[in-house]
Amino acid sequence: MTIWAAIYWYSAGPIITLNGRIAASDCVDSLSNQVSPMVQMLLPNNDASFKDDISPIHAARCVQSRFEEQEDAFQHLSWPAQSPDLNIIETLWSVLDSR
């Protein structure tokens, strides 16, 4: 399962889940149809950042191209998953438990 979530200031946004084996085209579709509209709704001033992990799907050429196309809408941070600078998973566990 793949989980995408929005966290901003002291709150969490919607959680997007993709089940089963995820292809790069599924990732691009979710970026276009779910993530981008959510970012535009939550942060309309185009000051959002998207942080991914080191999943191979995020390195796919079509996914990277989609990030480049949307660079006006949000900044893409390709920091490694274990970076102490921005690791949101600990914050997400309580949100996932409550849902």
Q: Which of 35-39, 63-67, 92-96 has the least mean pLDDT?
A: 92-96
User: Domains of the chain: which residue ranges?
Assistant: 2-98
Average pLDDT of the residues of the chain: 77
User: Class of the 2-98 domain?
Assistant: alpha beta
Please give the model's pTM, rounded to 2 decimal places. 0.64
* High-pLDDT (> 70) share of the chain, %: 79
Kindly tell me if the per-residue pLDDT of 32 is higher than 80.
yes
Q: Which of 18-22, 43-47, 79-83 has the highest mean pLDDT?
A: 18-22
Could you write out the DSSP letters of every residue in the chain? -EEEEEEETTEEEEEEEE-SPPPHHHHHHHIIIIIHHHHHHH-TTS-EEEE--S-GGGGSHHHHHHHHHTTTTEEEE---TT-TTS--HHHHHHHHHH-
Kindly tell me if the per-residue pLDDT of 81 is higher than 70.
no
